[in-house]
Amino acid sequence: MKIELPFELNVQVWKATLHYRDVREVCPECNGDKFVTVVQGNGEQFQLPCKGCDGDILTPPRGYVTRQESDYIPVSFTPRRWGMYDTDPWYSESSPDDSSYTQTNAKDLFAGFMECNDHCKQLNVERDARQKDREYQHLMHKREDYAWSVHYWRNKRNSLRKELEWIDNRLKQIKERAK
């Protein structure tokens, strides 16, 4: 059996690598106001703390969100060792003497910068489409939380009003008996 490796050892090639960065921006849900106004069908309005920019249960809304953005970028890669997974060759930048190393599939390596850059652009387009869908689903989930919150607290208020009304009636009955 003859194995042909697509790349020579110790010769620079390129691979698409995710580059991460934190981006801070005004909360798209409350526009930095830290509160949102929920208007029900009957016109009743409620001001609620924004769920789009709150950190956790102990952190009040901040008016901004911090997102981690990522882009695939071409990064130089110099293979120093190789191996096989079934019929797929892999490469590593670690020296042959290292006992621990990371592997990169040969399919993810490119001989030229431009070829790798084109691949990165394609990966970024695919990732952006998935990210937009995730952001939309996240926003819809937060809006469901607002609706649930208004529903819960309105029902709580109504049940407390009924309980208070019952207590007032009970106190009236006790006062009348005491006469």
Give residue 166's pLDDT: 95
Q: What is the mean pLDDT of residues 130-144?
A: 81
Whose CA is closest to 61, among 48, 74, 43, 71?
48
- Residue 1 has a pLDDT of 67
- Asked whether residue 160 carries a pLDDT value surpassing 80, the answer given is yes
Distances (CA, A) of 95 to 3, 106, 118: 21, 17, 29
Per the prediction, the chain carries an average pLDDT of 86
> Do the domain assignments include residue 161?
no
What pLDDT does residue 110 have? 95
Instruction: Determine, yes or no, domain membership for 150.
Output: no
Q: How many CA atoms lie within 13 A of 165 on its CB side?
A: 6
Q: Let me know if residue 142 belongs to a domain.
A: no
Report yes or no: 45 and 39 within 8 Å, Cβ to Cβ. yes
Whether residue 6 is contained in a domain is answered as no
Amino acid 55: pLDDT = 67
Q: How much is the pLDDT for 101? A: 78
Residue 85 lies in a domain: yes
Domain with 106 in it: 13-127
User: Is residue 105 in a domain?
Assistant: yes
Q: Considering its fold, how many domains does the chain have in total?
A: 1
Q: Which distant-in-sequence residues (6+ apart) come within 8 Å of 83 by Cβ?
A: 89, 90, 92, 103
Which carries the bigger pLDDT value, residue 125 or residue 55? 125
- 147 in a structural domain: no
pLDDT given at position 132: 86
Residue 162: predicted pLDDT = 94
Decide if pLDDT at 19 tops 90. Answer: yes
Within a domain: residue 18? yes
Q: What is the pLDDT of residues 55-112, one digit of tens each?
A: 667 778 889 988 888 999 999 999 988 888 887 888 888 877 777 678 888 899 999 9
